[in-house]
Chains A and B, each alone.
Chain A
Amino acid sequence: MNAQSPLLSVRDLKVWFDIKPKGAMPWTSPDKLKAVDGVDFDLMPGETLGIVGESGCGKSTLARAIMRMVPAEGGTVLWLGDDLLSLNKQGMREHRKEMQMIFQDPLASLNPRMTIGQIVAEPLKTHYPDVSKAEVKTRVREVLDRVGILPNMINRYPHEFSGGQCQRIGIARALILRPQLIICDEPVSALDVSIQAQVINLLMDIQQEMGLSLIFIAHDLSVVKHISTRVMVLYLGNVVEISEAEQLYRAPGHPYTQALISAVPIPDPKAHAENEVMLLDADLPSPLNPPSGCVFRTRCPLAEKVCAETKPPLTDRGNGQQVACHVI
């Protein structure tokens, strides 16, 4: 790792949800759904960390826990040295302007009763209530111009825009406070492929220009490869591999990552036909009752006895690759 100090440093973050079994009495203790179970990672300034994993593996929950939108069960989230999880509401508010979020459904993330001018101005007005109206207007116009929305559209309503445009407006809202970190929760999953490319390239341009860090959550591995510096693979709330993007795609370490990478479609029918997809047996185990030891062992082709006994730690394998596996 380089000598720079990390912008965000997450240690042993756990998010557990209480699930009441059906027909339970009010006093029975609820089951714990371990949505995120001990995640560690660092995020350097200006870096993009991609987070991938199948549905329900805790990607979005992890993002929301960092933003303190869901309560964490334990662990620390160090933001420039402050532990976000132990801050009070007021303290957290101060930090919220430094980190913003972009959401999956572009239209649903904009209030249908507000004009886009009001929507984009909201973070600014919330954190700097004294800014003059004229100033707000100039800033809103600037930031809309930056994301490629004509600033004379500020009096329009979200439903008058296309999905891609709505996502740009969402990005504008995230940018107006000039944050240091933007968490993108599947920002392009709901968009057409051609629009996806536009939005991704816009994000990358803005990142270079403003020196932002991004946490980019997606389930489309090709998209993640395109944008990320490093990629973190989650499985059932656990990190199975963190690696430099190139390295991960060239030589995936963990058997789960190998399976994921092998399933990425190749845009060449011949090559695709020859490519052997590594199919995994069985379904994703329930996070209510995860397997003992390594959570992936029930589907792992290489599982050994030790895998059922102890949880493999994330170990450095060189080339900036960290893998959590006993066997490999």
Chain B
Amino acid sequence: MTHVTNVETAEVVKGRSLWQDARARFFRNKAAVASMIVLILVSLFALFGGMLTPWSNEEIDWNLMGDVRTLGGPSFETKHYFGLDPLGRDLYARVVQGTQISLMIGIVGALISVIVGTLYGATAGFIGGRLDNIMMRIVDILMAIPYMFVLILLLVVFGRSIFMLFVGIGLISWLDMARIARGQTLSIKNKEFVEAAIATGVSTPKIIIRHIVPNLLGVVIVYATLLVPSMIMFESFISFLGLGVQEPLTSWGALINEGAGQMRYGTLWMLGFPLFFFLISLFAFFFFGDGLRDALDPKDR
């Protein structure tokens, strides 16, 4: 490096943060990049796919309704790209709409778990002692309750609605995250930079937000991306039981359920299209999460 005589006027050197390093590593991972592209495409499909078809997810095509099995297959002529569902509704429009619901549930679940779980776990872990004990026992208790049972009760008592589904998913999704965040916090809080902050007199909430949480985020983001598919599967299972989203709305799980019921009549497209989107999205989420984990692993530094 050349000697800089006038430091005040010298150009400020740009630093490369760990995030930038991680991004560079992530983009070197081909599988992760490919799955990111798949996820972007699926999201675009969910957002704008509805514009490509004249049909809506609840309209019944009366012309073909009586003969779905022979005439209702995928065809560009009838503008039913993915064919019809057993009631004669356009499957393409329904897959678009189901994708919206499923992705939304996955993302909302992951967001709740990131925000609530991380702050909860970091607070419990950092403050420690009795508060930690109480907070983590609450998590244990919530985990011990069979959530599926609670969710079914919720849906039965308060009526089946997407909102209740979100509440149910919100209630359970942050528990694991809180434990993971707490565990990580315990290892970070003994690092010297946290001690330095304590010695300087930085207040506890600021230490948690400024020093603990940013260093947790690597682990948390990875776990969150892996949580998205499990939330989607969770919703699919609920919908498969018939308790999830209600007609005319639908989701991947409900569509797959419907398609699976028609399998023996030879109308495999009803199962195939939703299953295809379900599978590629889950695969993509898993690879994306793996890629993130490799990229953010501090040991690679």
Contacts and interface: CB of A to CB of B under 8 A. Distances in A.
Interface of A: 64, 67, 69, 92-93, 96-97, 100-101, 103-105, 108-116, 119, 122-123, 126-127, 141, 145, 150-157, 159-160, 170, 173
B11 interface: yes
B201 A173 contact: no
Interface in B1-59: 4, 7-8, 10-19
Contacts, number: 100
Nearest to B215: A113
A97 B201 contact: yes
A173 B192 CA distance: 13
A101 to B, nearest CB: 5
Contact of A126 (B18, B193, B201): B201
Interface of B: 4, 7-8, 10-19, 191-193, 195-203, 206, 210-211, 214-215, 298, 301
Nearest to B12: A152
A102 to B, nearest CB: 9
Among all A-B residue pairs, the 5 with the closest Cβ atoms: A156-B15, A96-B201, A109-B192, A113-B214, A103-B192
Contact of A67 (B13, B191, B199, B202): B199
Contact of B7 (A92, A97, A127, A151): A151
Contacts of B8: 141, 151
B127 to A, nearest CB: 13
Contacts of B197: 111, 122
Given A92-B201, A111-B214, A150-B7, 17 more contacts: A67-B199, A69-B198, A96-B200, A97-B201, A103-B196, A104-B192, A111-B193, A111-B197, A111-B215, A112-B18, A113-B18, A113-B214, A114-B210, A141-B7, A150-B13, A155-B12, A156-B16
B15 A155 contact: yes
B85 to A, nearest CB: 49
B301 A109 contact: no
B199 A69 contact: yes
B9 to A, nearest CB: 9
A150 B201 contact: no
Nearest to A183: B199
A111 B207 CA distance: 11
Contacts of A151: 7-8
A122 B199 CA distance: 12
A64 B200 CA distance: 12
A100 B214 contact: no
Contacts of B206: 126
Contact of B201 (A104, A114, A115, A127): A127
12 contacts: A64-B195, A69-B199, A100-B200, A101-B196, A111-B197, A111-B210, A115-B17, A116-B15, A150-B7, A152-B11, A155-B14, A157-B17
Given A97-B201, A112-B18, A159 B214 contact: no
Contacts of B7: 141, 145, 150-152
Contact of A173 (B10, B16, B196, B210): B196
A182 to B, nearest CB: 11
B13 A126 contact: no
A110 B215 CA distance: 12
Given A108-B192, A126-B201, A152 B4 contact: yes
Contact of A152 (B13, B198, B203): B13
A151 B12 CA distance: 8
Kindly name the residue among B7, B193, B198, B211 whose own CB sees the greatest number of chain A CB atoms within 10 A: B193
Contacts of B4: 150, 152
A156 B12 CA distance: 9
Contacts of A152: 4, 7, 10-13
A112 to B, nearest CB: 6
Of A97, A112, A115, which is in contact with the most chain B CB atoms at under 10 Å from its CB? A112
A135 to B, nearest CB: 15
B207 to A, nearest CB: 10
Contacts of B192: 103-105, 108-109
